[in-house]
Amino acid sequence: MSEPEERHEIQEIDIHTTAGKLADLQRRIHEATHAGSERAVEKQHAKGKLTARERVEMLLDEGSFVELDEFAQHRSTNFGLEQNRPYGDGVVTGYGTVDGRPVAVFSQDFTVFGGALGEVYGQKIVKVMDFALKTGCPVIGINDSGGARIQEGVASLGAYGEIFRRNTHASGVIPQISLVVGPCAGGAVYSPAITDFTVMVDQTSHMFITGPDVIKTVTGEDVGFEELGGARTHNAVSGVAHHMAGDEKDAIEYIKQLLSYLPSNNLSEPPVFPEEADLAATDEDRELDTLVPDSANQPYDIRTVVEHVVDDGEFFETQALFAPNIVTGFGRVEGHPVGVVANQPMQFAGCLDIDASEKAARFVRTCDAFNLPVLTFVDVPGFLPGVGQEHEGIIRRGAKLIYAYAEATVPLITVITRKAFGGAYDVMGSKHLGADLNLAWPTAQIAVMGAQGAVNILHRRTLAEAAATGEDVEAVRARLIQEYEDTLLNPYVAAERGYVDAVIMPSDTRSHIVRGLRQLRTKRESLPPKKHGNIPL
């Protein structure tokens, strides 16, 4: 239909009759669902991107979407805006279901005003967030926006602030997930930063406070969009994002799977697919008996342990590209979702550094907020040494992980597979921080430090005297190391003191965890009353 014909049809609707009113509603709905111009939609598709409504349709169960504020329009008259007042104002909001479970959603529409956020646009997002909080369902924000709507001035900034406040109030009450599928710049980045999980798409998602042009003007640095704030940067370098998807479909599938591990809110339990485990050790379980190498310096993949423990070997990893020296993610044990934190000997020997500490702390707190037990697998030689780490605040930032474990009231089960040295032993879900069940393999080495370093300190004089008298210093050192290992470098000293509840065969790990989680399902623990703690941020 040509534009003149369409205008002619609109003119012929008699809104004074019932039929006319119904026809007028249909016209308005059509206008609202096609708010972006055909040219803008074509440009969106040419970039390999979906439209706001296509994303919502892909995310939600078919036919479940209920739109809110479909006919909302901005009220601004600045710079000729009154001449262009599309329905919806550039954002699609509403609710529906994902795998039959209620969720709320907002999806920014880049085909209308470039997705720029204004007052009414912000009010729509705030309303759907308030709705999610009242009904206790997750909220998923799909971000594709050029930033604040400049023509609306401070009203757009106020709208951002209202959104940030809702993000904060909803934190730990309902799961909040951000999907960034285009630009997300300036103040807009802080909403995804506050949410529980952020998913980005490779080559099409960008997040930054100030863009390349501003940086070039102010600092003289030349940087491109991808290097500055692309999906790979925020997944591997900054840690802002939790998953880098290959395309939008992959991103949405990741979110659907993520939701399957999370409860709808902090007062409900996560989805359960009951299945009673066979507690007898299998040949597959016995593979763990030979996993840890004889040499303490030889690495192995901790994911192998995790996959032997969780149901069907299915481990859903988060932040896989960031701080790879620690592994975080979700799995199920007897159909019940659990969170997993594990040192990774394949990266930096499993050392804790600033990034690993913050990654794990954030994850533990997320699990605690949403009633998910935490399984911790420990193989850690200590904190990563270095001037850079010290100057960048490893003390303060490493303390976040202590805080996260110590404040957690969900079931906590820790398995020490090999090294647990120094302060890192305490930090990684130890009995001293409140873990409920602490297990160790016979290969566990729980001590203040490794044998080499300990001997160099404890027997400095002995080694010096050996050198002075012409003895074979290395032979003396080897004897002293063996003595130290036999005396202290084992799980039994800790077991004698009750710091480890049991020393187990590696092949029995899943069996012990299953039994432990069964017992801990009725765990009740509360912290001292307070307004809130003061985590070392």
Active site residue 186: yes
pLDDT band of residue 7 (cuts 50, 70, 90) is very low
Point out which residues pair with 104 in neighbouring strands: 95, 139
Q: What pLDDT sits at residue 465? A: 84
What are phi and psi for residue 365, nearest 5 degrees?
-65, -35
Q: What pLDDT sits at residue 11? A: 57
d(CA 513, CA 502): 12
Active site residue 187: yes
What are 372-420's pLDDT values in tens digits? Answer: 999 999 999 999 999 999 999 999 999 999 999 999 999 999 999 999 9
Quote the mean pLDDT of the chain: 93
Reading the block at residue 174, the tokens are 């309902």
Residue with tokens 């809130």: 532
What are 106-144's pLDDT values in tens digits? Answer: 999 999 888 888 889 999 999 999 999 999 999 999 999
d(CA 45, CA 32): 19
pLDDT band of residue 8 (cuts 50, 70, 90) is very low
Q: What pLDDT sits at residue 5? A: 44
Q: Tell me the C-alpha to C-alpha distance, in Å, between residue 484 and each of 176, 446, 450, 454.
A: 50, 12, 9, 8
Active site residue 423: yes
Q: Of 94, 93, 76, which is closest to residue 85 (Cα–Cα)?
A: 76
| CB distance 322 to 359 below 8 Å | yes
d(CA 268, CA 302): 31
Q: What pLDDT sits at residue 73? A: 80
CA atoms within 13 A on the CB side of 346: 9
Among 172, 211, 423, 453, which one carries the catalytic annotation?
A: 423
d(CA 418, CA 363): 23
DSSP 208: E
Active site residue 350: no
Average pLDDT over residues 170-194: 95
Least confident of 16-25, 301-310, 324-333: 16-25
Whether pLDDT at 304 is above 70 = yes
Residue 30 vs residue 303, higher pLDDT: 303
Which range has highest mean pLDDT (24-28, 83-87, 220-224)?
220-224
d(CA 13, CA 225): 49
Among 88, 94, 146, 186, which one carries the catalytic annotation?
A: 186
Full set of structural domains in the chain with CATH: 1-33 (no CATH), 37-259 (3.90.226.10), 283-448+489-520 (3.90.226.10), 451-488 (no CATH)
d(CA 54, CA 104): 16
Q: What pLDDT sits at residue 3? A: 44
Three-state secondary-structure class, residue 46: helix
For the chain, how long is the longest CA-to-CA vector? 112
| CB distance 207 to 186 below 8 Å | no
pTM of the complete model? 0.92
Residue 154: CB atoms within 10 A of its CB come to 9
Whether pLDDT at 1 is above 70 = no
Write the CB contacts of 484 (distance below 8 Å, at least 6 apart in sequence): 451, 454, 455, 458
**In this structure, which amino acid lies at residue 281?**
A
pLDDT band of residue 238 (cuts 50, 70, 90) is very high
What are phi and psi for residue 245, nearest 5 degrees?
-95, 150
pLDDT band of residue 459 (cuts 50, 70, 90) is confident
d(CA 330, CA 325): 17
Whether pLDDT at 325 is above 80 = yes
Among 136, 187, 211, 422, which one carries the catalytic annotation?
A: 187
What are 47-103's pLDDT values in tens digits? Answer: 999 999 999 999 999 999 999 999 888 787 677 677 777 878 889 999 999 999 999
Q: Of 294, 311, 384, which is closest to residue 344 (Cα–Cα)?
A: 384
pLDDT band of residue 6 (cuts 50, 70, 90) is very low
d(CA 40, CA 498): 66
| CB distance 138 to 103 below 8 Å | yes
| CB distance 293 to 300 below 8 Å | yes
d(CA 297, CA 294): 9
**In this structure, which amino acid lies at residue 291?**
L
Q: Of 314, 313, 309, 321, which is closest to residue 359 (Cα–Cα)?
A: 321
d(CA 174, CA 266): 6
